[in-house]
Structure 1
């Protein structure tokens, strides 16, 4: 019997999100990138191979709160099933299935072949499992077949959670995979020069629902990406800055649910900046709005990388970023960093946003929540002016006293 060996290359597709809902609530969610590779052999000759990226997958309708099923093609499925659901010991069981005749034209078998791989992960019911590293999952068949099949999946940027998922966001309490804990960076030489494209532009964006403009955002946005590249045959760390242009296109959803809205900003060649806005209604007297998740998808082809890659970085925060009151808006005129995660930094200037709006115009309204940098500037100005005025009064008083003294002395000499 011929042993078929094949190599799996790291997928460069962007991470894709899949969500399973029950009764209007998200009960299972998966984000990942990577691909699935398979070969077929009859023992004397190769009968074909396939390679399918996860970014082409779609969620299968009969997925449930303990099983996320993905269709990579009409005939190839990969499942992520909750396994060993005991206290503190949940794992993920990968399962794959395909119909040979639909995948390999030289194979006449019409019966589905089912594969399983070793379970992975260790996390509790209140946690999400996160594995940013590239991990290979080798599958084995569950039945004897006339044709030898090999199947292997490569996943990276994987995050998964089962249970009650609040506001469609992963729990901030994550369990890391061993590969992330032990991975060490590749040795690199001095960073190459920064690339900046194009010049900064003030952009205005909005999301509408019928006649209501539910989200407004404006400002100058710069995304900085640090990535590994090859220059003159050597591995180097490069940093590229991309300013979001004025022709960026915004879309979104004002009705994800009563407390969540979203905005997606598309620009460049495959770049995307996503915001998830959350409304905290825990207190009826002081309802707040914040950005609960920021996601950046970038393509290093913009920086003329030798081997361009597309990746996604998502940052979420329990309690939210950049909080403001409902009916008001957030403002930060100073240059500030919104996220700095996994080599990706988003900075803004003259930034404003307002979500959960109820008006149709394009004007910001209501109370203003200022960032700390603006508040410090606002405090410094009156203090500086007051100190200057106090100094001026003191100088005038001293000059008056000196003049008065000289006047008296001159008067005595003239007598």
Structure 2
């Protein structure tokens, strides 16, 4: 397998994010002396936004300084109880609750963010406050129980490029007392999680074997008019260096992206195109740029955020100074050989059986494929070997014929 791209590792990488310490933030909504909503949770917001040069993505962590906003309420007749947590310069997370005779649920989940805040949104081309929400939260629990979901789970805000990832959640609405109920309604992710008892101490735990080549996924981005503007078929493998809880040291994790549980979205503009892949624990974004003069495009940025169970902190890194996957407008870039794309010193991405076209897609089909150099080299090697073998056979044949002619010449007729 070719490793030529290893030598192309960047000497320096631009960091488009920050590594935040995972923490649960506590909130309490009261009506006088009575508590109606109590929550302990960690949340991060994966947001794509427009810049003067195209698009950028950030992963904003809900800070410990977040507070219960005055818009929070225990509700009344015809009004649902709501937890509104505000932070930073005009940002807030909202959870509106409802109930029936048996269950309570998060009826609506909303996020408001201020693009004028350069701390979170550097170089934003829009200076406005955006509010997005969804009714498809999947968060529900039996009345008089605590909703518990320690596993990471992601919720995409309807039709947008914004995803909220929760973890370490313990909360209750319509509380009969000021304390969280000792009885819990556990989310399905926690029920499916399994814990394997260690057989060795963390310091001597063996390194797990690398996973097999990843399954190939099919992804696309659609314009507002319903036509496909970006196509990508590829298997993806993430190489992430992080601090391990179980081993109490820095390790290199190799994880395959699973197409069957990966959702995708993106945005196409005249000279930029973005593809975002989300599987709940991992968010991965690709940004392509088009040079209108040369009619050439390339992968200019890669960003990743991950909250794997063994991580001591969420992992967020990126690089916007890349020059990979170069192709021509109207044609696709193809590389069946494994490629290693160094992004930062703690993250690289391996691609398998890749074909991508971020611009000039017609008829929802890939254009003529332009092969990567590694595929060309792999085809050239058999040709060279074959030519060398053919030449060797020819030399042996010529030598044999010359030798035979000389042996006949050694006998004279008497």
TM-score category of the 2 structures, normalised to the smaller one: 0.5 to 0.7
1:246 matched to 2:259: yes
Q: What's the TM-score once normalised by structure 1's chain length?
A: 0.53
Quote the residue 2:357 is aligned against: 354
Q: Confirm or deny: 8 A CA contact 1:192 1:236 kept in the other structure.
A: no
Q: Confirm or deny: 8 A CA contact 1:248 1:265 kept in the other structure.
A: no
- Structure 1 counterpart of 2:367, from 358, 362, 365: 365
Q: Confirm or deny: 8 A CA contact 2:230 2:361 kept in the other structure.
A: no
Relative contact order (alpha carbons < 8 A, sep ≥ 6): 1 or 2 greater? 2
Q: Confirm or deny: 8 A CA contact 2:302 2:320 kept in the other structure.
A: yes
Mapping for residues 277-356 of structure 1, pairs under 5 Å: 277-281=288-292, 283=293, 286-301=294-309, 305=310, 308-317=312-321, 320-356=323-359
Using the alignment, how far apart are the partners of 1:342 and 1:51 within structure 2?
34
Using the alignment, how far apart are the partners of 2:92 and 2:339 within structure 1?
33
Q: Could you list the per-position Cα deviations for residues 300-343 of structure 1 after superposition, in whole angstroms to 9, with x for gaps in the alignment?
A: 21xxx2x553322212216x322111111111222111234242
Mapping for residues 201-212 of structure 1, pairs under 5 Å: 201-209=215-223, 210-212=225-227
Q: What's the offset of the Cα at 1:30?
A: 7.1
Quote the residue 1:388 is aligned against: 389
Query: Cα gap change, 1:38/1:336 in structure 2, threshold over 3 Å: closer, same or farther?
Result: closer
Stretch of structure 1 that moved more, 9-18 or 213-222: 9-18
Using the alignment, how far apart are the partners of 2:299 and 2:342 within structure 1?
11
Q: Could you list the per-position Cα deviations for residues 121-179 of structure 1 after superposition, in whole angstroms to 9, with x for gaps in the alignment?
A: xxxxxxxxxxxxxxxxxxxxxxxxxxxxxxxxxxxxxxxxxxxxxxxxxxxxxxxxxxx
Q: Confirm or deny: 8 A CA contact 2:55 2:272 kept in the other structure.
A: no
Quote the residue 2:103 is aligned against: none
Q: Confirm or deny: 8 A CA contact 2:48 2:55 kept in the other structure.
A: no
Q: Confirm or deny: 8 A CA contact 1:15 1:31 kept in the other structure.
A: yes
Using the alignment, how far apart are the partners of 1:261 and 1:388 within structure 2?
47
Say which SS state the counterpart of residue 358 (structure 1) adopts. Answer: coil
- Structure 2 counterpart of 1:237, from 250, 259, 262: 250
Quote the residue 2:71 is aligned against: none
Q: What's the offset of the Cα at 1:15?
A: 6.7
Q: What's the offset of the Cα at 1:192?
A: 5.0
Q: Could you list the per-position Cα deviations for residues 61-81 of structure 1 after superposition, in whole angstroms to 9, with x for gaps in the alignment?
A: 7x3xxx5488xxxxxxxx999
Using the alignment, how far apart are the partners of 2:56 and 2:212 within structure 1?
39
Q: Confirm or deny: 8 A CA contact 2:334 2:369 kept in the other structure.
A: no
Q: Confirm or deny: 8 A CA contact 1:19 1:28 kept in the other structure.
A: yes
Query: Cα gap change, 1:15/1:404 in structure 2, threshold over 3 Å: closer, same or farther?
Result: farther
Q: Confirm or deny: 8 A CA contact 2:54 2:271 kept in the other structure.
A: no
Instruction: Give the unaligned 5+ runs of structure 1.
Output: 1-8, 40-49, 71-78, 82-187
Q: Confirm or deny: 8 A CA contact 2:22 2:314 kept in the other structure.
A: no
Query: Cα gap change, 1:375/1:220 in structure 2, threshold over 3 Å: closer, same or farther?
Result: same
Mapping for residues 6-405 of structure 1, pairs under 5 Å: 10-11=21-22, 14=44, 16-17=46-47, 19=49, 32-33=60-61, 35-37=63-65, 56=93, 58-60=112-114, 63=116, 68=118, 193-194=207-208, 200-209=214-223, 210-231=225-246, 235-255=248-268, 257-267=269-279, 269-281=280-292, 283=293, 286-301=294-309, 305=310, 308-317=312-321, 320-362=323-365, 364-368=366-370, 370-405=371-406
Using the alignment, how far apart are the partners of 2:251 and 2:57 within structure 1?
33
Say which SS state the counterpart of residue 309 (structure 1) adopts. Answer: coil
Q: What's the offset of the Cα at 1:238?
A: 2.5
Q: What's the offset of the Cα at 1:359?
A: 1.5
Q: What's the TM-score once normalised by structure 2's chain length?
A: 0.54
Query: Cα gap change, 1:211/1:16 in structure 2, threshold over 3 Å: closer, same or farther?
Result: closer
Equivalenced residue count is 262
Greater share of strand residues, 1 or 2? 1
Say which SS state the counterpart of residue 390 (structure 1) adopts. Answer: helix
Q: Could you list the per-position Cα deviations for residues 333-354 of structure 1 after superposition, in whole angstroms to 9, with x for gaps in the alignment?
A: 2211123424222101211111
